[in-house]
A and B are shown apart, each in its own frame.
Chain A
Amino acid sequence: MWAEGRVLLREVTVRYGRRVALEAVSGEFASGSLTAVIGANGAGKSTLLAAITGVVRLAGGTVECAARRRLAYLPQLSAIDRDYPLSVAELISLGGWREIGAFRAPRSALRQRIAAVAETVGLSGRIERSIGEISVGEFQRALFARLILQDATVILLDEPFAGIDPQTMSVLLDQVTRWHQEGRTVIAVVHDLDLVQARFPSTLVLARRCLAWGATEMALPVMAA
Chain B
Amino acid sequence: MSLHALIVEPFETLAFMRAALVACLALALMNGAVGTLLVLRRMSLDGEVLGHAVMPGAAVGFLYAGPSPLWLSLGGLASGLAVATLSGLITRAGARRDAGLVAFYLVALSLGVVLVAWRGSNVDVMRVLFGTVLAIDQRALLQIAAFSSVIVIAIAALYRPLAVGAFDPAFLRAVGVRAPYGAVFSALVVLALVASFQAFGTLLAVGPMLLPAAAARCWGLGAAVSMALAAGFGLAASIVGLLVSYHADLPSGPVIVLAAGLLFGMSLAAVNAVRRLAPTLARGS
Interface size, B (range): 20 to 34
Check B94 for interface membership: any CB of A closer than 8 A.
Answer: yes
> Which residues does chain B contribute within 8 Å of A103, judged by CB atoms?
157, 160
Q: Which of the listed residues B158, B161, B174 has the most CB atoms from chain A within 10 Å of its own CB?
A: B174
Contact A50 to B170, CB < 8 A, known contacts A68-B176, A98-B175: yes
| Known interface pairs A81-B166, A81-B168, A85-B226; A102-B285 also in contact (CB < 8 Å) | no
Collect the chain B residues with CB atoms within 8 Å of residue A82's CB.
167
A75 to B171, CA, bound (A): 8
Chain A interface: which size bin?
20 to 34
Give the docked Cα–Cα distance between A102 and B170 (Å).
15
Q: Which of B219-268 contact A (CB under 8 A)?
A: 220-223, 226
Within 8 A of B (CB), among A78-111: 79-82, 84-87, 94, 97-98, 100, 102-103
Candidates A54, A80, A87; contact of B174 at CB < 8 Å: A54
Cβ-defined contact, B160 with A102, below 8 A? yes
- A1 near B: Cβ within 8 Å? no
**Looking across the interface, which residue of chain A has its beta carbon closest to that of B164?**
A94
B171 touching A73, Cβ below 8 Å: yes
Report if B115 contacts A (CB, 8 A).
Answer: no
Picked from A69, A84, A133, the residue with its CB within 8 Å of the CB of B40 is A84
Looking at the assembled complex, report how far the CB atom of A66 sits from the nearest CB atom of chain B, in whole angstroms.
Answer: 14
C-alpha gap A79/B94 in the complex (Å): 19
Flag whether A166 is at the interface (Cβ < 8 A).
no
Residues 255-285 of B, flagged 1 when their CB comes within 8 A of A and 0 if not, give 0000000000000000000000000000111
Q: Give every chain A residue within 8 A of B168 (Cβ-Cβ).
A: 75, 79-81
Scan B146-168; emit 1 where CB is below 8 A from any A CB, else 0: 00000000000110110110111
What A residues does B163 contact at CB under 8 A? Answer: 84, 86
B284 touches A133 (CB 8 A): yes
Q: Is A17 an interface residue (CB 8 A)?
A: yes
Annotate A35-70 by CB proximity to B: 1 below 8 A, 0 otherwise.
000000000000000100111000000000000110
Instruction: Decide yes or no: A53 and B222 within 8 Å by CB, A102-B160, A103-B157 being known contacts.
Output: no
- Whether, in the assembled complex, A72 has its beta carbon less than 8 Å from a beta carbon of chain B, the answer is yes
Partner of A94, one of B171, B176, B222: B171
Which chain A residues lie closer than 8 Å to B94 at the CB level?
17
Contact A55 B166 (CB under 8 A): no
Indicate whether A204 reaches chain B with its CB closer than 8 angstroms: no
Hey, what's the 0/1 contact readout for B165-209 against A, CB within 8 Å counting as 1? 011101101111101000000000000000000000000000000
- Shortest CB-to-CB span from B275 to chain A, Å, is 14
Counting CB contacts under 8 A, is A188 at the interface? Answer: no
Contact B176 A80 (CB under 8 A): no
Chain A residues with CB under 8 A of B167: 80-82, 84, 86
- In the bound complex, residues from chain A placing their C-beta under 8 Å from that of B171 are 73, 75, 94
> Which B residues have a C-beta under 8 Å from some C-beta of A?
40, 42, 94, 157-158, 160-161, 163-164, 166-168, 170-171, 173-177, 179, 220-223, 226, 283-285
* CB<8 Å pairs between A and B, sample of 28: A53-B173, A53-B174, A55-B170, A55-B173, A72-B174, A73-B170, A75-B171, A79-B168, A79-B170, A81-B167, A82-B167, A84-B163, A85-B220, A85-B221, A85-B223, A85-B226, A86-B167, A94-B171, A97-B175, A98-B175, A102-B158, A102-B161, A103-B157, A130-B284, A132-B220, A133-B283, A133-B284, A150-B175
Closest 9 CB pairs of A and B: A84-B167, A73-B174, A81-B167, A102-B161, A75-B170, A97-B175, A55-B173, A85-B222, A53-B174
